[in-house]
Structures are given as C-alpha cells and as structure tokens.
Amino acid sequence: MVEDHKHEESILEKIVEKIHGHGDSSSLSDSDDDKKSTSSSSSSFKSKIYRLFGREKPVHKVLGGGKPADIFLWRNKKVSGGVLGAVTASWVLFELFEYHLLAFLCHFAIFALAALFLWSNACTFIHKASPHIPEVHIPEDPVLQLVSGLRIEINRGLTVLRNIASGKDIKKFILVIAGLWALSIIGSCYNFLTLFYTATVLLFTIPVLYEKYEDKVDAFGEKAMKEIKKQYAVLDEKVLSKVLSKIPRGALNKKKD
C-alpha cells in the first residue's frame, strides 16, 4: 500500500510539473509576442516620423560619409576649425584686402623657391646635409573619380533641363525659372568668392546644428511643408490649372505622332 501511494504521488508530481512547464512556455511565447509587437510598433512609429526633405539616412550618410562628413559635422574639431579658418583667411585676404589670386600664387612661389635655394646653398657652406625636398605629384585615381562624379552630375542636370524645356511639366518649369531668377539676384549682389565662402560657412554650421536639434527641426519642417502644400494647392487651383487649360495640347500630340 505504501508503494502504491508513493507511485501515485510521483505520477501527480509529474502531471503538475508538465502543467507548470506548459504554462511557463506559454508565458514565454506570450512575452516574445509582446516584444515582437512592441518592436514592430516602435519600428512602424519610427518610419512614420517626418524627416526633412524625406530623408531616410543619418546626416553623416547624407553628406557622403567618410572624412568629408566628419569635417562638416565637427567630429574632429581641430581639423574642422583648421579648414574653416583657412577658408576664412583666404576670403579676408582676397576679398577684404583685395589681394589677387595670381599675384598671391606668384609671390608664394617666389618666397618658397628663394627660401629653399638659400637653405640648400647654406648647408653646403656649413657642411650639413642639404634639405630633403619631397617629390609632389597628383595621384591619378582620385582625379578620375572626381571627374567621373562631376560628369555624372552634369549629365543628370542636363537631362533634367531637357525634360523641363520639352514642356512636359509646367509646374517644374515655373519652379526652376523662379529658382534661377532668385539665384541671379543673389549673384548680382555678391561676387563668386563671397558666395563660395558663405556656402562654406553654411555647410560647416547648418548640418551640425540640424544633427543636434534634429527632432525639433523636423517637427517645424512638417508644419511648414503642410502649410506650403496648402498654399500650393490654392495656387494650383486658381492659377496653374487655368493656365494649363488654355495651352493647346492637340498640336503637341500631332507632332509626337
């Protein structure tokens, strides 16, 4: 009798353990499902967050990544400060002091060659080794990559201009004309060197500030884009649609045929 009672107790214990084990596995699966649902909801929430200009990549990737992006985002403050300081010194030298670029290059070459020439001859008189002047040459691969990149961008721009000039999209035509007109006004007020320096300063300030205050800027940009779309819809309804309705399309279709 005692053995039968122990056998029954062991069977009951096994049944209880199985029940608890099933409960734990179900609770684990429930917790996994909860984690998956929360992660999917958080990922969908992140995907719904508005980013300025439809940006999907980080600012560092948008700027091309690598060392140039590190310089623009002030990852190395000494290098970034040195580059910005050199550009500022060049602008002050050529714009404020009105020093011409060709004269500067010639004077710099005269000073460098005279200093090296005197140093080399002085070393022979004092019986010291002459200074080692390194060989400077321009590598071929970076130049070819730069030219290839410029060629691709120029061809892309020419394709866009061709599509606009063909009369297929009047809205884009008006936007491009307005942009070029605004750029011509800015160019008439400032020379090329000042525009280049201004663009460089903006490139060294706007990305790093945007990266720091990204969420606030994106929220403000979302509101601004909604307002711009609203005003553009009004303009499209009152002006552009009427202009498009007056343009004869039959002649263009006959030419295409």
What are the tens digits of pLDDT across the range 86-142?
Answer: 999 999 999 888 888 899 999 999 999 999 899 888 888 887 887 788 888 888 888
Q: From the CB of residue 71, how many other CB atoms can be counted at a distance below 10 Å?
A: 19
- How far apart, in whole angstroms, are the C-alpha atoms of residue 223 and residue 211? 19
With beta carbons less than 8 A apart as the criterion, state whether 71 and 207 touch. no
- How far apart, in whole angstroms, are the C-alpha atoms of residue 48 and residue 155? 34
Q: How far lies 68's CA from each of 65, 75, 90, 200, in Å?
A: 7, 10, 20, 13
- pLDDT value for 12: 52
pLDDT at 198 over 50: yes
User: Could you identify the residue written with the tokens 């008189």?
Assistant: 125
Query: How many residues in total does the chain contain?
Result: 257
The predicted-structure confidence for 149-162, as pLDDT tens digits, reads as follows 889 989 988 998 88
The predicted-structure confidence for 45-94, as pLDDT tens digits, reads as follows 444 566 766 677 788 887 877 788 888 889 989 999 999 999 999 999 99
How large a percentage of the chain has pLDDT more than 70? 72
Give the three-class secondary structure for 130. Answer: coil
Q: What angle do CA 58, 63, 67 make, to 5 degrees?
A: 105
Q: How confident is the model at residue 240 (pLDDT cuts 50, 70, 90)?
A: low
pLDDT at 38 over 50: no
User: If we measure between CA atoms, which residue out of 204, 163, 192 comes closest to residue 75?
Assistant: 204
pLDDT at 253 over 60: no
Q: Which two tokens stand for residue 185?
A: 């006004």
pLDDT at 182 over 50: yes
pLDDT at 201 over 80: yes
pLDDT at 242 over 80: no
User: If we measure between CA atoms, which residue out of 77, 42, 72 comes closest to residue 60?
Assistant: 72
Q: Alpha helix (H) ranges present in the chain? A: 2-48, 59-62, 66-72, 77-91, 101-125, 140-165, 170-189, 192-212, 214-235, 241-246, 250-256
Q: Average of pLDDT values for 177-181?
A: 89
Q: How far lies 111's CA from each of 105, 107, 108, 115, 118, in Å?
A: 10, 6, 5, 6, 11
- pLDDT value for 155: 93
- pLDDT value for 37: 47
- How far apart, in whole angstroms, are the C-alpha atoms of residue 85 and residue 217? 28
- pLDDT value for 48: 58
pLDDT at 33 over 60: no
- pLDDT value for 13: 60
- How far apart, in whole angstroms, are the C-alpha atoms of residue 221 and residue 214? 10
Q: How far lies 84's CA from each of 1, 60, 79, 191, in Å?
A: 95, 18, 9, 19
- Pairwise pLDDT comparison (235 vs 110), residue with the higher score: 110
